[in-house]
Amino acid sequence: MAYKETFWMACDSTEQMRAEYGPFHTRAEAEMEARKLGFDYLLRYEHIVGDRNEIQEVRSIFIELSGARPQRLPTKLHTRCATCGASASHDLAWRAEVWADIHEFEHARHFVRLFEQVRSELKEIANWRDAA
Ligand SMILES: [Zn+2]
């Protein structure tokens, strides 16, 4: 059975030629190190590992550390599982991610979608969890 392995890197930008430091097993460790180094971003890697320990898929997502830069206007984020319909709303992007992580961990093969609410409009953020 395939399983998912997650680890974190601290990095100084989202460019191709960035400095990365790590890996760390938890977000907290990576974040502490990033702040020490003055780096503004975390990079989360997810490896989908197959039966023979081969890496089947690599996903990575950049996370901008809060306080590093001025934040955008506050918008409300909504997560909704496309598989079972469970949903929640969040003020912070990382909370949406944690919710999705837990939901997808507890329910195999469920797929959580993310929506951003601007005024009364809902806009889906596509591919939010496997941004290159
Ligand atoms: Zn679900």
- Nearest residue to 103 (alpha-carbon basis) of 116, 123, 85: 85
CA 33 to ligand 1 center in whole angstroms: 34
- In this structure, how many other beta carbons lie within 10 angstroms of the beta carbon of residue 99? 20
Q: How far is 24 from 6, CA to CA, in rounded Å?
A: 9
CA 5 to ligand 1 center in whole angstroms: 20
- Nearest residue to 78 (alpha-carbon basis) of 94, 96, 62, 61: 96
**Tens digits of per-residue pLDDT, 26-85?**
999 999 999 888 888 999 999 888 888 888 888 889 998 876 555 455 578 899 999 999
CA 114 to ligand 1 center in whole angstroms: 13
CA 105 to ligand 1 center in whole angstroms: 10
